[in-house]
Every structure is written in C-alpha cells, then in structure tokens.
Structure 1
C-alpha cells in the first residue's frame, strides 16, 4: 500500500486542469525503458494530446475509444525522445499494475473534472 502523502493547500490541487478525454490512437512504444504505449487522446475543445503510459495490461483494442481522465496543464516531459503532453490518470494495484480512471459513460471529451 502506498502511504498517504502530506497535505497541500487546496489551490495547488485546484490549479490542475483535469479533463475527460477519449483515446483515439494507441501505438507501440518500443523505445521506452519499460513496456508502454504512445496514446493520443481527444480532449474536445481543449485539443488532442499525446502521452506515453505504462498501461500494457490493456490491449490497444481495449484502450481505443475508451473515456479517460488526464491532467492537461502539466509541462511536457521527454520520454525516450518523445514529448508526453499530459498525465493519464489511473490507480496502482500492488505490484504496480495500473487501472485507468474512467469517467461516467455520459461524460464527453473536454468535460472538466473536479
């Protein structure tokens, strides 16, 4: 189990721009040190962004068209020569397995999460 983190001021949390998106592209990412995909997500009016994610416990077919939650206002991060433009959110099970967070089925790309 991951220990609880220190408290932060509420404005730190509320400055994160969390949005609903729909996965539109899933590509193999063999350049990454750990097994990962390059994933493109449509965040509606907020734009379409790319990230890399260690979510290979899902098949590309399971990921395509899936609604997800991402943090879209973090600075880009270079991973294996590519820029990751947002953070895809999920929970970590014991052993590091990632379970993606899923918004309600009626959510639409671009919806704010708060």
Structure 2
C-alpha cells in the first residue's frame, strides 16, 4: 500500500497509540522471498534480550540485502502474527513511503540499542 500523499488520518485516543510496542532492532539476516506476490525479503531482527529475535516479510527490495544487515530499525512488535505466502511475519517493520512508492526505513539514532523502547 502506498500512503504517500494521503490525507491526514482522524485523531485517535493517545492510549491507542501508546499501546503499540515500538522497539529498536538490529537486522541480522535478509533473504529473498520469491513466494511473496510482490518483491519482498524475509528479514530477521534482534530486538534485544527481553524480546529476542523476530522475523518479518517486507517489501523493501529497494535496499540490497548487504545494506540492511547490521542496520538499526524500528518495529511494532505487538500487532500479532500474519501469514504471508506460508511464512509467519511476527512484527511490522516501520518506514515511510516516498511519492513514487519507495519505502524508506525508519532508523533509530546511533546510540539506540536493540530492545530500546520507541515512544
């Protein structure tokens, strides 16, 4: 879904936003996901000792796998799981959509560590 240029969404109760568990993670592994309908990767991320390692599928093939491994990212880790072409996606990797539909991953600051809470 491309949200670039989308009108502002309606206001929500702050409790709804703050119930989302946003965490800093570090990408450990990236592999192609040819079974997905649109070009995607299967991505493994370390979210620190309290959360552990989670996997997701993401349509971020504008990045080469070697650009992603070791990169800090932000993920929503308490949205439940979703099956994507037989693969269980365990969190949502956060990024912004450019006008041309390209995803730019959100990046934590350089001092942020896996497991840090985003809020």
State whether TM-score is above 0.5: yes
Shorter-normalised TM-score: what interval?
A: over 0.9
Residue 91 (structure 1) aligned with residue 77 (structure 2) = no
Q: Structure 1 stretches (4+) deviating beyond 2 angstroms? A: none
The alignment's TM-score, normalised by the length of structure 2, stands at 0.94
How far apart, CA to CA, are the structure 1 residues paired with 2:84 and 2:9?
A: 26
How far apart, CA to CA, are the structure 2 residues paired with 1:91 and 1:3?
A: 15
Shift of 1:3: 1.1
In the alignment, structure 1 segments of 5+ residues that lack a partner are: none
The one-character-per-residue Cα deviations of 1:39-92 (angstroms, maximum 9, x if unpaired) are: 000000211000000000000000000000000001100101111000000000
1:1-114 correspondence runs (5 A): 1-45=5-49, 46-114=51-119
Structure with the higher helix share, 1 or 2: 1
**Number of residue pairs the alignment of both structures matches:** 114
Shift of 1:111: 0.2
How far apart, CA to CA, are the structure 2 residues paired with 1:80 and 1:3?
A: 31
